[in-house]
Amino acid sequence: MRYLTTPIYYVNDAPHIGTAYTTVTADALARWHRLLGEGTFFLTGTDEHGLKIQQTAEANGVTPKEWADSTVVRFQESWAQLNISNDDFIRTTEPRHYAAVTELLQRCHDNGDIYLGHYEGLYSVPDEAYVTPAELPELERQGREVIEMREENYFFKLSRYEQPLLDWYESHDDFVLPKIRRNEALGFIRQGLRDFSISRTSIDWGIPLPWDENHVTYVWFDALTNYLTAAGFPDDPTRFEDLWPGTHIIGKDILRFHCVYWPAMLMSAGIEPPTNVFVHGFLTVGGEKMSKTALNQIAPADLIADFGVDGYRYHFLRDQPFGPDGDFSYEGMVARYNADLANNLGNLLSRVTTVVGSKCSGVGPAPDPDSALADVVSASLEAATAAWGRVAPSVALEETWKMIGATNAHLEQYEPWKMEPGADLDRIMGDALEVLRIVAVLAYPAIPASSAAIWERIGLEGSPVDARLPEAANWGGYPGGLPVAKGDPLFPRIKA
């Protein structure tokens, strides 16, 4: 089973284009793997313990759990609106998660990797992490709350895992992708690893340590374990065996936790590290870092109102390559939407359905088995498949759109709207319908609802969700003789 996860987002924050970026990308990947006929389990959820949530709940006069219950809905609604096809939604306040964290802690403890020590130093509340004095000026500049902490903590012997981690990276070349992120993680390990604190006594909003109830588990130890919980750890070994190890999709801000701490924790507990960690860069808005204080966090719903759900999904998958940082601009989004969706795909659909309506009595002809477009399709399919495989949705979509471009050019060359009805016209329209069918399958991970609408308009039964690749992209699958409907534009042009 392919097990894909997003980070679990802090329940305190509202969803924004950054958290939605990871979630939409993971969703598109999950949909792609389902198209390939692979069993796929896709998880997202929320991170609900820790000082930040305790403080906000107090400020709002409610318990932390009440606070989490009222705010988690924002994520659930946003992801539903964005058509996210997660199979499970995990909340770290669920009993199943307490069981998993307790078991993981106990295993690391039994393995001799947890000891009692003292911590004195600085703690960044929004990051839920200890920080060094050297990091303080930058954190202050960003307006992040940093407090003095002095407490007894349990520590995890990360130092013991320096060599095992280096060996793991050595023998698992693709563990962290893209390569620049792998090098970043390796650089951190090579600097030497310090043990990290895994418990707190100063807060009580968390999961108690099984051997010392005065301590609650540090929020990161707790949060990372969500990936095991949802896979059935520890109570459902059959399910766990089937799902684990998983693949994590994360942003670069939490690379150290996922690529260094997490595999070490798992090794300590005798559990295999994840298969892959795919790490993307950060989105900025008009060149600025997004933050609550800068009031520049854009809510997905605001853009969906203008571009529709699929317009939203397509933009971030196509225009923000996975890996490097990227800048978001509204103008850029309008330009991409108009070029690729309103013009390229929208035009193709409307031309084809119009001509079939007026010159083929609304009945779609079958494609020509020897069409020149068949070669374009097979080249695009090969390139798009490779791109999805290396988590490069922007390239996969660019390749898919090459088929659309070639078909529009084909139509412009033959101008079927000027032709008389007959075999020549039928061949051209059949080819264009066939490309639309294949595009509906290949673009489905990005624009699922629009793909289903195209499918229906060209008269096909069922939906692209049931298609299986690569067979579904074989040339000649459009049977002909189906009713073709014109309908309203799928992607109305947007004025800049």
Q: How far is the CB of 311 from ligand ME8 (least distance, A)?
A: 19
Contact status: 444 vs ligand ME8 (CB under 6 A): no
Strand intervals (E) in 315-473: 326-328, 363-364
- Whichever of 324 and 462 has its CB closer to ligand ME8, that residue is 324
Return the half-sphere exposure (C-beta side, CA atoms, 13 A cut-off) of residue 129: 15
Distances 355 to 38, 373, 416, 423 between C-alpha atoms, Å: 38, 19, 7, 14
Residue 184 CA to residue 196 CA, distance in Å, equals 19
Contact status: 82 vs ligand ME8 (CB under 6 A): no
Which of 290, 299, 301, 494: binder of ligand ME8 (CB under 6 A)?
A: 290
DSSP for 294-310 reads TT-PPPHHHHHHHHHHH
Contact status: 19 vs ligand ME8 (CB under 6 A): yes
If one counts every other C-beta atom within 10 angstroms of the C-beta of residue 176, the result is 26
Site stretch for ligand ME8 (CB under 6 A), options 6-14, 130-138, 154-162, 399-407: 6-14
Write each residue from 225 to 244 as x if it is in contact with ligand ME8 (CB under 6 A), else as -, in one continuous string: -x------------------
Residue 325 CA to residue 222 CA, distance in Å, equals 28
Residue 84 CA to residue 448 CA, distance in Å, equals 10
Site stretch for ligand ME8 (CB under 6 A), options 11-19, 164-172, 180-188, 329-337: 11-19
Structure tokens at 218: 């540090």
Contact status: 224 vs ligand ME8 (CB under 6 A): yes
How many residues belong to the site for ligand ME8 (CB under 6 A)?
Answer: 20
The per-type count for the chain, helices as H runs and strands as E runs, is 19, 18
Query: What's 14-79 look like in SS3?
Result: CCCHHHHHHHHHHHHHHHHHHHCCCCEEEEEEEECCCHHHHHHHHHCCCCHHHHHHHHHHHHHHHH
Q: How far is the CB of 78 from ligand ME8 (least distance, A)?
A: 12
- Whichever of 5 and 400 has its CB closer to ligand ME8, that residue is 5
Contact status: 89 vs ligand ME8 (CB under 6 A): no
Which of 3, 4, 18, 71: binder of ligand ME8 (CB under 6 A)?
A: 18
- Whichever of 19 and 71 has its CB closer to ligand ME8, that residue is 19
Q: How far is the CB of 85 from ligand ME8 (least distance, A)?
A: 18
Closest CA to 79 of 4, 19, 11: 19
Contact status: 8 vs ligand ME8 (CB under 6 A): yes
Residue 129 CA to residue 180 CA, distance in Å, equals 24
Residue 71 CA to residue 66 CA, distance in Å, equals 9
Contact status: 445 vs ligand ME8 (CB under 6 A): no
Q: How far is the CB of 264 from ligand ME8 (least distance, A)?
A: 15
Q: How far is the CB of 485 from ligand ME8 (least distance, A)?
A: 39
Which residue is closest to ligand ME8 by CB? 18
Q: How far is the CB of 281 from ligand ME8 (least distance, A)?
A: 7
Contact status: 283 vs ligand ME8 (CB under 6 A): yes
Structure tokens at 405: 């471009």
CB 458 within 8 Å of CB 478: yes
Q: How far is the CB of 415 from ligand ME8 (least distance, A)?
A: 45
CB 433 within 8 Å of CB 356: yes
Contact status: 328 vs ligand ME8 (CB under 6 A): no
Residue 203 CA to residue 215 CA, distance in Å, equals 8
Contact status: 22 vs ligand ME8 (CB under 6 A): yes
DSSP for 432-486 reads HHHHHHHHHHHTTTT-HHHHHHHHHHTT-SS-GGG--TTGGGSTT---S-EE---
- Whichever of 188 and 414 has its CB closer to ligand ME8, that residue is 188
Residue 79 CA to residue 85 CA, distance in Å, equals 8
Contact status: 48 vs ligand ME8 (CB under 6 A): no
Closest CA to 64 of 78, 50, 74, 77: 50
Contact status: 178 vs ligand ME8 (CB under 6 A): no
- Whichever of 170 and 327 has its CB closer to ligand ME8, that residue is 327
- 242 to 271, contacts with ligand ME8 by CB under 6 A? 250-251, 253-254
Contact status: 282 vs ligand ME8 (CB under 6 A): yes
Contact status: 10 vs ligand ME8 (CB under 6 A): yes
Closest CA to 434 of 339, 370, 343, 360: 370
Contact status: 223 vs ligand ME8 (CB under 6 A): yes
Which of 21, 42, 79, 307: binder of ligand ME8 (CB under 6 A)?
A: 21
Residue 391 CA to residue 324 CA, distance in Å, equals 13
- Whichever of 224 and 490 has its CB closer to ligand ME8, that residue is 224
Site stretch for ligand ME8 (CB under 6 A), options 8-16, 75-83, 393-401, 420-428: 8-16
Q: How far is the CB of 340 from ligand ME8 (least distance, A)?
A: 22
Residue 24 CA to residue 74 CA, distance in Å, equals 16
Q: How far is the CB of 282 from ligand ME8 (least distance, A)?
A: 4
What does the binding site for ligand ME8 look like in residue numbers (CB under 6 A)? 7-10, 13, 18-19, 21-22, 47, 223-224, 226, 250-251, 253-254, 282-283, 290
